[in-house]
Amino acid sequence: MEEELIRQDATGLAELIRQKELTARELVEKTIQRIERLNPLINAVVSTQYEEALAIAEQLDRQGSSDRPFAGVPILLKDLGQNQAGQLSTSGSRLFANYRASTTDNLVKRLEELGFVILGRTNTPEFGFKNISDSSLHGAVNLPRELTRNAGGSSGGAAAAVAAGLVPLAGASDGGGSIRIPASFNGLIGLKPSRGRVPVGPTSFRGWQGASSHFALTKSVRDTRNLLWHLQTCQLESPFPLPTLSQDSLYQPAKTSLKIAYFPQSPVGTQLSEAAQAAVAEVAQALRDLGHEVVELDDYPVDAVALLQSYYLMNSVETAQMFSEIEEGLGRQVTPDDMELMTWAIYRSGLTIPARVYSKTLQDWDRFSHQMAVFHETYDVLLTPTVADVAPLHGQLTPSDAVRQRLIQMDHYTMSQQQELIWEMFAPALAVTPITAHANLTGQPAISLPTYERSDGLPIGIQLMAAKGREDMLLSIAEQLDQTGAIKQLAVSQLL
Q: Which residues belong to the active site?
A: 78, 154, 178
> CA torsion 358→360→361→363, rounded to 10°?
130
Residues 162 and 169: their CA atoms lie apart, in Å, by 6
Cβ neighbours of residue 384 under 8 Å, at least 6 residues apart?
262, 263, 264, 267, 280, 435, 462, 463, 465
Please say whether the beta carbons of 85 and 203 come within 8 A: no
Residue 484 backbone class (left: φ over 0; alpha: ψ -120 to 50; beta: rest): alpha
Please say whether the beta carbons of 14 and 115 come within 8 A: yes
The sign one gets for the Cα dihedral 362, 364, 368, 370 is positive
The sign one gets for the Cα dihedral 81, 24, 156, 336 is positive
Quick one: which of 394, 371, 362 has its CA closest to 153?
394
Strands 459-466 and 381-385: antiparallel
